[in-house]
Structure 1
Amino acid sequence: MASSNHFIAKELTHMEEKRYSCEVCCKAFASKFNVAIHMRRIHTGDKPYSCKMCDKTFATKADVKLHIRTHTGEKPHPCQVCGKAFRQKSDVLIHMRRVHTGEKPYRCKVCDKTFATNADVKAHMRAHTGHKPFSCEVCNKLFATNAELKLHVRTHTGEKPHSCEKCGKAFTQLSNAMKHMRRIHTGEKYFSCKICDKTFVTNAEVKEHMRTHTGEKPCLCKVCDKAFASNTEVQLHMRTHTKEKPYPCQVCGKAFAQQSDTAIHMRRIHTGEKPYSCKVCNKRFATNADVKLHMRTHTGEKPYSCQVCGKGFTQSSNAVMHMRRSHSEKKPFSCKTCDKAFATNAEVKSHMVIHTKDKAY
């Protein structure tokens, strides 16, 4: 009988849970106080409470208390897994889902994509509706969320409020500062591939990496329709069309499309630095890619085969050269002096010696 009474009481409580409704939109709430807060935040924009330090105004006293922590630096809610501290308890829960558990309990009703928070679902819904209610006052560009707008405004102001605690480098986003810490200073890689166990700094990198297993290439070049696994690869590829080379060598001025290419050039041409070594014979190399290629001399691995005769090669470029020399009459490289055609650019360079010798005599 007692358990029956408890059940009835619980049901009555649930029925009365949201008996107060908003006069404007009819949304229901558990208390008059919650209705008042809703009115301020959604309909009136009224912010009667202000911060005594910076005069910023807020809809509730609770909002002021949370905001004060941006001044004091107080973060009373630590993560039980990694110890990272947060201003709000709700932020700890979101952090747990995004970084440690991967839990995504909220689902989009249109495409079934899942998210860590309901706010993420609402923001995502605008990808379906195309609704962009937030506009930049400087350039009038529209955004789906206020957070995106705030980040964009920093492209106008140059503001970089998040700095690295180790080296002082500043960033527009806190997430970028955290990524920088992991990549440059700590080497922490929280995210791993479920297929090959390779670890990564961000979950986004895992998703991109997964495409090396699936072969998926959803990002297309708008000029030539070539497909890529990520937007970053598309952006780099675009420079083959625009001929843009924004990274010059500080020694000789030679320019490159990628910053990594400039670093490799520095090692190979100017410094001679070889920070990567073979674990089998200790031979040293300028890049990790060079080590991987060299390892095939030990393993005998030849992952690239000719589609015509089946001959194997250690490098893709060697397979291409073989195709041109042995199976194709195509010779795309020509000498600018005598117009003789060759299968590779290296052959053109070797051929050019004939002309330079003629000039010497």
Structure 2
Amino acid sequence: MFGFPTATLLDCHGRYTQNVAFFNVMTEAHHKYDHSEATGSSSWDTQNPFRREKLEQKSPDSKMPQEDSPGTRQKVYECQECGKSFRQKGSLTLHERIHTGQKPFECTHCGKSFRAKGNLVTHQRIHTGEKPYQCKECGKSFSQRGSLAVHERLHTGQKPYECGICHRSFRNQSNLAVHRRVHSGEKPYRCDQCGKAFSQKGSLIVHIRVHTGLKPYACTQCKKSFHTRGNCILHCKIHTGETPYPCGQCGKSFTQRGSLAVHQRSCSQRLTL
């Protein structure tokens, strides 16, 4: 129709078939394009009025990357507060909210706010009960993709986070961070009532119940309550008759590991006499 294959035009700078008049203009300009200069600033850039107009619109201060290597993009959007750079303007906008404290995405259920819309979507699953990420191994579901990834390591045995001091490995980074406090002695969680400090937030929560008297875990058999879930589980074994901790010397079994330890000391003393 135009004296040369349409595909050749489309392969270079085409995709103009949607507008016939515009396509005719581009066809004439295409013949003027010097393919020998395709790797640099070609005659297409300077001769074609549409392309030249776009080039002239780009000021020297433009935030668009100019000299990227193939397949990469420069980090051209810089935070004026801390200097951190980003490849996308949206990523910079999200980062700047760390400095401003802005949290524009609010949960309609509880009023909690978030910096990113994705974080709000994930949070709302607490209210809706939605758990779209399911383990293919055991069928257990999770509200977050990251939680599923950590869970799957139970099946694979993978522990990719290793302590650089003792080389103990962990399934997730947060457990490694808590473990490192064993070596550093750091105890960032302090009780406001008595000043006692803990390396884990959960330990502080349990400790505070000593002051408040809160015992949220109740035995279903006798209604006795406990500060921790573990103590409640141990107590329930009294009713079930379960004694999972046997003494290796005399065979007597106990419901609690601590009771077994006390028994083993006395048992060893009797055997030595």
TM-score, normalization by structure 1: 0.49
Name the residue aligned to 1:61: 51
2:207 to 264, 270, 294: 294
Name the residue aligned to 1:109: none
TM-score, normalization by structure 2: 0.61
2:118 to 194, 201, 204: 204
Quote how far apart the aligned CAs of 1:225 are.
1.1
Whether the aligned pair in 2 keeps the contact of 1:160 and 1:173 (CA below 8 Å) is no
Question: 1:168-206 deviations in whole A, cap 9, x for unaligned?
Answer: 6x88877677767766x7765443333333343432222
Aligned to 1:241, what secondary structure does the other structure show? helix
Question: 1:62-109 deviations in whole A, cap 9, x for unaligned?
Answer: 99459947x73449xxxxxxxxxxx9xxxxxxxxxxxxxxxxxxxxxx
Name the residue aligned to 2:4: none
Q: In the alignment, does 2:27 pair up with 1:72?
A: no
Supply the RMSD in Å over aligned alpha carbons.
5.1
Aligned residue runs from structure 1 range 137-216, under 5 A = 161-162=74-75, 166=82, 189-216=103-130
Whether the aligned pair in 1 keeps the contact of 2:238 and 2:255 (CA below 8 Å) is no
Quote how far apart the aligned CAs of 1:255 are.
1.1
The separation in 2 between residues aligned to 1:274 and 1:245, in whole angstroms, is 25
The separation in 2 between residues aligned to 1:72 and 1:65, in whole angstroms, is 13
Whether the aligned pair in 2 keeps the contact of 1:247 and 1:262 (CA below 8 Å) is yes
Name the residue aligned to 1:276: 189
Name the residue aligned to 2:238: 326
The separation in 2 between residues aligned to 1:358 and 1:215, in whole angstroms, is 56
Quote how far apart the aligned CAs of 1:292 are.
2.8
Name the residue aligned to 1:266: 180
| Amino acid in the other structure paired with 2:199 | A
Aligned to 1:72, what secondary structure does the other structure show? coil
Whether the aligned pair in 1 keeps the contact of 2:161 and 2:169 (CA below 8 Å) is yes
Quote how far apart the aligned CAs of 1:243 are.
1.4
Name the residue aligned to 2:219: 306
Whether the aligned pair in 2 keeps the contact of 1:164 and 1:181 (CA below 8 Å) is no
The separation in 2 between residues aligned to 1:241 and 1:336, in whole angstroms, is 31
| Amino acid in the other structure paired with 1:257 | R
Aligned residue runs from structure 1 range 327-346, under 5 A = 327-331=239-243, 343=255
Quote how far apart the aligned CAs of 1:307 are.
3.4
1:253 to 153, 160, 167: 167
Whether the aligned pair in 2 keeps the contact of 1:160 and 1:171 (CA below 8 Å) is no
The separation in 2 between residues aligned to 1:197 and 1:181, in whole angstroms, is 22
Whether the aligned pair in 1 keeps the contact of 2:153 and 2:171 (CA below 8 Å) is yes
Counting aligned pairs with the same residue, the percent is 31
The separation in 2 between residues aligned to 1:243 and 1:309, in whole angstroms, is 39
Aligned to 2:146, what secondary structure does the other structure show? helix
Question: 1:269-302 deviations in whole A, cap 9, x for unaligned?
Answer: 2111122223444432223333333333333333
The separation in 2 between residues aligned to 1:67 and 1:293, in whole angstroms, is 63
Quote how far apart the aligned CAs of 1:248 are.
1.2
For the structure 1 residues 257 and 337, does the alpha-carbon distance in structure 2 shift closer, same or farther, using more than 3 Å as the test? farther
Question: 1:215-261 deviations in whole A, cap 9, x for unaligned?
Answer: 33332211111222222111111111111111111111111111111
1:231 to 128, 145, 162: 145
Quote how far apart the aligned CAs of 1:330 are.
4.0
For the structure 1 residues 74 and 309, does the alpha-carbon distance in structure 2 shift closer, same or farther, using more than 3 Å as the test? same
Whether the aligned pair in 1 keeps the contact of 2:107 and 2:120 (CA below 8 Å) is yes
For the structure 1 residues 322 and 228, does the alpha-carbon distance in structure 2 shift closer, same or farther, using more than 3 Å as the test? farther
The separation in 2 between residues aligned to 1:67 and 1:337, in whole angstroms, is 87
For the structure 1 residues 67 and 254, does the alpha-carbon distance in structure 2 shift closer, same or farther, using more than 3 Å as the test? farther
| Amino acid in the other structure paired with 1:61 | R
Quote how far apart the aligned CAs of 1:329 are.
3.6
Gap runs ≥5 in structure 1:
1-21, 41-47, 76-86, 88-153
The separation in 1 between residues aligned to 2:266 and 2:90, in whole angstroms, is 57
Aligned to 2:111, what secondary structure does the other structure show? coil
The separation in 2 between residues aligned to 1:322 and 1:55, in whole angstroms, is 79
Whether the aligned pair in 2 keeps the contact of 1:335 and 1:341 (CA below 8 Å) is yes
The separation in 1 between residues aligned to 2:271 and 2:51, in whole angstroms, is 86
